[in-house]
Structures are given as C-alpha cells and as structure tokens.
Structure 1
Amino acid sequence: MLLVIPARGGSTRLPMKPLRSIAGISLLHRTIGLARRAVALLDDASLVVATDDAAIAAHAGAIGCDAIMTDAAISSGSGRALAAALTIAQRPDIVVNLQGDAPFQSPLAVSAVIAALARGDADVATPVVRLDWPALDALRRHKQDTPFSGTTCVRAADGRGLWFSKQILPAMRDEAGLRAEPVSPVWRHIGLYAYRLTALEAFEAAPQTELERLEGLEQLRLLELGLTIETVEVAPARFDISGIDTEADIVRAEALIAEHGDPLDDR
C-alpha cells in the first residue's frame, strides 16, 4: 500500500501552506512525522509526498521523505495521490491520501481505515470522531470566524457515509433534550482517506460535480458516482483541530501545542 501526502503550493487562503511554520516546525514536516508513525504500524507500506512545487519537494527531501512532482493542473488531493500511485511500477491496491493540512490526528486512524477496507467491500474508508457537547460547542465557536474550516459527516447506522458538509449536520430540533446524553449526534470528519485504486481511478476520471464545487469537498464526487464510503469511528486526537486552512487555524494550533504539548514529540 502507498501513503501519499498531497502538498500543493497554490492554496488561496494560505499560499505555500505546506511550508508554513507551526510552533517552529513546518506543516509538511508535521504531516510527514504523523505519516512515519503510521507507516511503522503497517506491513509493506511506503510513503511519498506528491507536490506541484519544487520548493515543497526540496523541503520534503531535506526531511528525508521521497517526493514526486505532479501536474499543477490537478485540482484535488485525491487526484494528486492517484498521480503519485501511477508512477510506481507495482501499482498499490490501496492508496491512502493523508491530507497535508491535518497533521494532528492519531496514527492509529490510518491503520483503522486500512483495516476497514480489508475486512469489507467499501470503495473508500475515512475516519470520523463523535463530538461530545463541549467539542461541538467549540466547533461552533470556531466556525463563527472560519466557517469553511471543519467538516461534519452524516452516516448510517452501519457506518456508511451518507453526506459530508462544511455545515454542522444534522440539525437538531430538540437540542436541549438531547444534551442529557453524554455525546452529541454530530460526527466530525478527519481529513484522511484510504482508497481502493479502482475507486481512486474512477474519481479522477469523472468531472468535478456542482455539489463538490459548492461545498469544496471532493468526497461528494465519490458519493455522486455511487461509490461507497465507510466511515470508521476513531478516538479524538490529543487535541481536536480539524485542519490548517487559515491564519486563525495556525494561531489556534500553536495555542493548543503550548497548552497540551507537541504531538510531534511522540515520535
């Protein structure tokens, strides 16, 4: 299997985002550190950075991680992961897209989604965390400043992903009554996908859908293609931050590191 970190330079909200520093360590370095811990838990897995920028490739090399240059016209992280996979002589059956802006998740989430694909017949597997009420309240406060940071998931009882949104779903008609329960009905999506290679090829062969464009979520294309996404429940990471999309996310991440310690020190 192949773990790919897509790392493009052209982010509109945070240009050259992979090279941005968080508490003195680049975002890409942090994501590579996470990926290395995940690879150590797996059999026969390799790791590569897929980028469209020579400076990012050079930075990955300086950290000791292989990098593959991919076409700048590729519009999604999943497409970049496929481009990297297709450069390998022995094509991997499973490709893991470890999104480069989510370096604070648990390495165990990677092995969990791979195990889900191995035991079932889903096309894609991705992790989710069920939010307790304080975590949901924190997500709501965060979205007041950065409404498109953080993704929620609506899932069936068997774990099949039904929908993903930048809105907080589902809406709750009687939230006051629901708060008697220890956890909310809201699931936050973690930015990580394990694909069967055939599913990844189908994704890239299809055009972007309108719903995908509106939400800015590539997994909606998979659902509209009729592919199945298994959502795998995982425990929250040491501190819960959905991803690094804005300057405010960097400030928040640095504050959490100062309060709780740096997950990269666990390596």
Structure 2
Amino acid sequence: MTLLVVIPARAGSTRLPRKPLRLIAGRTLLHRTIAMARAAIGGRADVALVVATDDREIADHARAAGCDAVMTDSAIATGSGRALAAALAQSAPPRFVVNLQGDSPFQPEGALAAVIAALEAGAQVATPVIALDWPALDALRDHKTRSPFSGTTCARAPDGHALWFSKTIIPAIRNEERLRADQPRSPVWRHVGLYGYALDALRRFEACSPTALENLEGLEQLRLLELGIPVMTVPVDPPLFDSSGIDTEADIVRVEALIAQYGDPVPAL
C-alpha cells in the first residue's frame, strides 16, 4: 500500500451531534462519504480506505458498508491527528496519507486524484481549491449570513502554494463592479475539505501544538503554514452542486433541496 485514504468520523460534533450517522436524503453522511471515496479511488491496488473513529457505533456503521474501521483515541482533536493514528495502525506505514473529511461527501469529481498526483509529484501537502465565479461567490456570501463558520476560502501564490486560509471570504475586493464586468471569475478560491500529506509532513504537523491563529479560525491547516510547511493548492472543477460541508441542521436542509433539484451525485455503495 502506497497511499492510505482516511475518513475521520468523530461522534462529538458540537454543532451537529453524531454527525456521521445523520441522514441526508435517506443515506447517512458516513455512507455517502465512503461511496464517494470508493468511486474516486477506482481500482487502484496501492490505495486503501479506512474510517478512523472514536465511536463503536460509527465503526460498526462503516463496516456495514464494507469499509475497514480503526478505533482512535477520543482525545485526538483534529481530523489530521486521527488520520495519522490510522496510518500508524497499519501493518506497514503508507508513503502518503489523505485526510478525506467526513462532513464533505459532495467532493468535486477528480479532486482526490488531483491531490494524489500532486503528492506523487513531490508536494509535502496538497489540497484542492475551486475558483468561484461571481454567482458562486454571491451564494457563498449569502450562505455565510446564516452559517458564518461553514465554508473556507484560500489566498494563493502564483505558483499555487497557499498563502492563507480563512473562514472569512478572502481576499477583500476593491473595485468589484469593474472586475465583475471584466472577468467571469472572481478572485476568490474556495477550499475543498480534502488534504493529502507525505507521511513525514503529517508527523511533523502532529508533533506541534495547535497555534493561536489555528484556534481562532478553527482551521488546522493554518498550523502547517505557521510551521513553514508548504501547502500546494490544486485547482479542480466545481461539483454538480456546490456544498461547503455539512456543519448544521440548515446545511442538511440545503443539501437535500439540492439533491431534489439536481439529482444525487453520490453513487450507491
């Protein structure tokens, strides 16, 4: 096994308790994420998939879908920490580890493959981003009036490396009306909740305590930037419909309405 894809599935979400088991249009969030991951991995023999959880019911629910599950310490506070614990529990440590956040089952097609390609090309850390057109930016702004901490944006350097991530919408835009008239896309990139790590980079990340800015924003990837670990951002096309993640009851209602309108993008298990 060269690469391990880990779905962290913590029971104790404060905003949406027992989130992995919540139903979305008749299927649980966890089963949806497993199905999406399997479709993205395809038939690669060097890639394994596992759910990392601190809850027996969630582990059993993963196994019912035919997915391996690893029990991890409930004291682990981050998805990346749970991903590292799952990697170290394997009989042979993988070269790369992907943390596929369990609350984002509607990933863009090709995002996982793009992250894997960036790792294999030498990136220490890789994560996808989507260039927002103006209607998508307007929709994100509207969404944040109701769920201000749902959805993350990214400022990027010209070479693709991340400069910063934020739960606010960055960058601020001067002369927006002129830009809207001149170009079809806004300068805002939305971050997709998927991270790939070289194992050594993930070990280094987890060996350090959370930083003050990481705690303020609630974004663990800020620790990487503060440690000087480069994060390569990989542009991907937007999914069938745009969902920033499932964090609240309102997010479930919104996504179910999108499924009813556009159809279900997640394949059957």
2: CA distance between counterparts of 1:169 and 1:85?
33
For each residue in 1:2-25, what CA deviation from the matched residue of structure 2 results, as whole angstroms up to 9, or x when unmatched? 000000000000000000000010
1:74 to 67, 73, 76: 76
CA deviations 1:134-175 (Å, max 9, x no partner) are 000000000000000000000001100010000000001111
TM norm structure 2: 0.97
- What residue is the counterpart of 1:135 in the other structure? 136
Conservation of the 8 A alpha-carbon contact between 2:109 and 2:239: no
2:152 aligns to what? Answer: 151
Give CA-to-partner distance per residue, 1:159-194, whole Å, 9 cap, x none: 000100000000011111110210000000000001
- Percent identity over paired residues: 67
Match of 1:167 in 2: 168
> Does structure 1 conserve the Cα–Cα contact (< 8 Å) formed by 2:39 and 2:267?
no
Does residue 95 of the first structure (1) align with residue 97 of the second (2)?
yes
Q: Which residue number corresponds to residue 63 of structure 2?
A: 61
| 2:127 aligned residue | 126
Output the CA distance in 2 between the equivalents of 1:106 and 1:143. 21
The CA deviation at 1:34 is 0.6
Q: Equivalent residue of 2:49, what SS?
A: strand
Instruction: Kindly report the root-mean-square deviation, in angstroms, between the aligned alpha carbons of the 2 structures.
Output: 1.0
Q: Specify the code of the residue in structure 2 equivalent to 1:94.
A: F
Q: Which amino acid aligns with 1:138?
A: A
- Residues 50 and 69, structure 2, Cα contact 8 Å, conserved in 1: yes
- Counterpart of 2:210 in structure 1 is 208
The alignment of Structure 1 onto Structure 2 pairs a total of residues equal to: 266
SS in 1 for 2:266: helix
SS in 1 for 2:234: strand
Show the counterpart of 1:195. Answer: 197
Residues 1:248 and 2:229 are matched in the alignment: no
1:10 is matched with which residue?
A: 12
> Which residue does the alignment assign to 1:30?
32
Q: Distance in 1 between matches of 2:216 and 2:251?
A: 22
Q: Does the residue aligned with 1:125 lie in a helix, a strand or coil?
A: strand
The one of 233, 236, 239 equivalent to 1:237 is: 239
Query: Using the alignment, how far apart are the partners of 2:240 and 2:158 within structure 1?
Result: 27
Q: CA deviation at 1:226?
A: 0.6
Q: How many Å apart are 1:264 and its aligned residue?
A: 1.9
Q: Which position in structure 1 is the counterpart of 2:177?
A: 176
Question: SS of the residue aligned with 1:179?
Answer: helix
Q: Secondary structure at the match of 2:46?
A: coil
Larger displacement relative to structure 2 (104-113 or 247-256): 104-113
Q: Is the 8 A contact 2:99 2:194 kept in 1?
A: yes
Give the counterpart letter for 2:162 in structure 1: G
In structure 1, C-alpha distance between the alignment counterparts of 2:57 and 2:155, rounded to whole Å? 38
Distance 2:165 2:6 in 1: 22
Unaligned runs of 5+ in 2: none
Separation in structure 1 between the aligned mates of residue 236 and residue 79 of structure 2, nearest angstrom:
22
- TM-score normalised to structure 1 length: 0.98
Secondary structure in structure 2 of the residue aligned to 1:263: coil
* 79-88 vs 173-182, which moves further: 173-182
Partner deviation per Cα, 1:217-246 (whole Å, 9 max, x = no partner): 000001111100000000000000110000
Q: Structure 2 CA distance, aligned partners of 1:160 and 1:203?
A: 17
Contact 1:35/1:107, CA 8 A, preserved across alignment: no
CA distance in 2, matches of 1:237, 1:266: 17
Instruction: Show structure 1 runs of 4+ deviating over 6 A.
Output: none
